[in-house]
Amino acid sequence: MSALTGVRVIELANDPIAWAGKLLADMGADVILVEPPEGDRARGYGPFVDDEPGDDRSLYWWHYHTSKRSVTLDLDDPGDADRFRALLGTADVLLEAEPRHRLAALGFDYDDLTAIRADIVHVSVTPYGRNDPKSDRPFTDLTVMAAGGPVWSCGYDDHSLPPVRGPQQGYHTASHFAVLSTLTALLHRGVSGEGQFIDVSMHAACNVTTEAASYSWLVARQTVERQTGRHAAVNPSSETQQRCADGRHANTGVPPRTPDEFGRLLKWLRETGLEDELPEAVFLEMGAEWDGPFDLSRIGRDDAVTAIFGAGREAMKLIASRLPAQDFFVGCQRAGLAAGAVNAPEEAFEDEHFKARGIQVEVEHEDLGRTVRYPGAPYRMTGSPWRILRRAPRLGEHNDEVLGGL
């Protein structure tokens, strides 16, 4: 049995919460996606199967709506509104990202819902929360992330280049908090029998997902500045991204910090035949033979410690520049040092490790006569497994079986 078997979620189709609905559906919740009769606009988003737009050919739609069922309802139509009311009577959770006054105008806001289903959990996701007029502003994932903090921290050492947005992660972050809220409220309902209303702010979600950018300001009124491929920082830090022999990049990670780690790095440098090319190799030897742990606060103040740590970084960069990125990554890790290849998403997906962990799952698209590989479980739950129950629904595919039974 999946963790959420028997939990019915009504999701009012909308981009910012599509990921939240999928996370719940793939854990066994009966997620019923309510779409307008003409269909949710995301059905028209690319990429498309064989690059041909058309009904049920949006891969974006396929990805975000697995395991859900679709019904069509025009909430402005009295007959459909009655059907929606009946549907809510069977629901444990309402998940929505509607404009903040829309549900009240339709008679379906939380206070109305409790008359239909007293213990319902209503999760609302808006740009700035239900009480802030700024939630009425138009928005996209890009504007949410720009205002909310992540963008400021991402980009390049060269500040004449614009800061950079990691694609679509603003909606993902809002969805993560929508899911955490839903699960927390369901647990509370399981103990107390009561439901409640939950007000998720996308802007707030981004604001608390910026690590030191926020707490450097909160604690010390300091401002971090963006750097290429590594943490934005109050004080500039050493580069950690290196172009490798195959043109791909690697993250040189955490340079050695203990005598043992210096010893292993030196051994690897010798194995790769590069020791002669690194004049600083002698400092690696010093590091390997250092008596006791290093006092890291002496970096920059003590010549020997500074030289040893500088040599560690230089050795990592040299080896990375001479090996293909994957070989550097694996070699470095085998030497007990943390580093990573900068994989493209498809390279990660085809990597032996992720495949062994089951990142590729096959989903049947019987209507197209093909089986498609999808990204798999975000967590391996041994007692209540994640799984994709079915492909994303066609528009109104479940009208009869869901609405017919009300």
Partner 1 sequence: MPGALSSFRICDFTGQLAGAGATKWLSSFGAEVIRIEDPVRQGRWDILRGVPPFVDERRGIEMGGGFNNHNTDKLGITLNLRTERGKELLTRLIEVSDVVSENFAKGVLERWGFGYDRLREIKPDIIYVSNCGFGHEGPYSDFKSWGPIAQAVSGLTFASGLPGEEPAGWGYSYMDHTGAYYMAMAILLALLHRQRTGEGQWVDLACTDAAVTLNGPALLDWTVNGRPLRREGSPHSNRNQWPAMAPHGIYPSQGDDDWVAIACRDQRDWQALADAIAADWCRDSRFADLPGRLAAQDALDTHLGAWTRERSKYATEAVLLEAGVPVAPVQKPEERIDLDSSTGDFSLWPTVRHTEMGDVRVDGQPAHFSKTDWQMERGAPCLGEYTDEVLTRVLGLEAEELVRLREEGVL
Q: Which of residues 221-240 bind partner 1 (CB under 8 A)?
A: 221-224, 226-232, 234, 240
| Calculated CA dihedral for residues 123, 43, 47, 342, nearest 10 degrees | 10
Binders of partner 1 among residues 105 to 144 (CB under 8 A) are 110, 128-129, 131-132, 134, 137-144
**Cα–Cα distance between 109 and 197 in angstroms, integer?**
9
- Figure out which of the listed residues 30, 88, 210, 311 binds partner 1, where binding follows CB under 8 A: 210
Total residues contacting partner 1 by CB under 8 A comes to 152
Give 290 or 349: the residue with its C-beta nearer to partner 1.
349
Of 401, 395, 383, 378, which Cα lies nearest the Cα of 24?
A: 378
Q: How far is the CB of 224 from partner 1 (least distance, A)?
A: 7
Of 98-106, 150-158, 269-277, 313-321, which segment contacts partner 1 by CB under 8 A? 150-158
Regarding 263 and contact with partner 1 (CB under 8 A), the answer is no
Catalogue the E-assigned strands of 3-128.
8-12, 30-35, 69-72, 93-96, 121-126
Question: Within 10 A of 71 (CB to CB), how many other CB atoms are there?
Answer: 23
- Figure out which of the listed residues 81, 282, 286, 372 binds partner 1, where binding follows CB under 8 A: 372
**Cα–Cα distance between 199 and 178 in angstroms, integer?**
9
**Cα–Cα distance between 246 and 250 in angstroms, integer?**
11
Binders of partner 1 among residues 160 to 189 (CB under 8 A) are 161-167, 169, 172-173, 176-181, 183-188
Regarding 155 and contact with partner 1 (CB under 8 A), the answer is yes
Q: 323-362 b/e with 16+ CB inside 10 Å = b?
A: bbbbbbbebbeebebebbbbbeeeeebeeeebeeeebebe
Query: 354 — phi, psi (to 5°)?
Result: -65, -35
Q: How far is the CB of 47 from partner 1 (least distance, A)?
A: 4
List the x/- string, 273-302, binding to partner 1 by CB under 8 A.
------------------------------
Give 63 or 313: the residue with its C-beta nearer to partner 1.
63
Q: How far is the CB of 378 from partner 1 (least distance, A)?
A: 4
**Cα–Cα distance between 344 and 168 in angstroms, integer?**
16
- Figure out which of the listed residues 241, 272, 306, 399 binds partner 1, where binding follows CB under 8 A: 241
Q: How far is the CB of 42 from partner 1 (least distance, A)?
A: 8
Binders of partner 1 among residues 318 to 347 (CB under 8 A) are 329, 333, 336-347
CA distances from 285 to 277, 297, 307 (A): 15, 21, 11
Q: How far is the CB of 404 from partner 1 (least distance, A)?
A: 28
Binders of partner 1 among residues 31 to 70 (CB under 8 A) are 41-42, 44-47, 49-51, 59-60, 62-64
Regarding 104 and contact with partner 1 (CB under 8 A), the answer is no
Give 82 or 231: the residue with its C-beta nearer to partner 1.
231
Contact 166, 96 (CB under 8 A): no
The one-letter amino acid at 133: P
Owner of token pair 């991402």 = 154
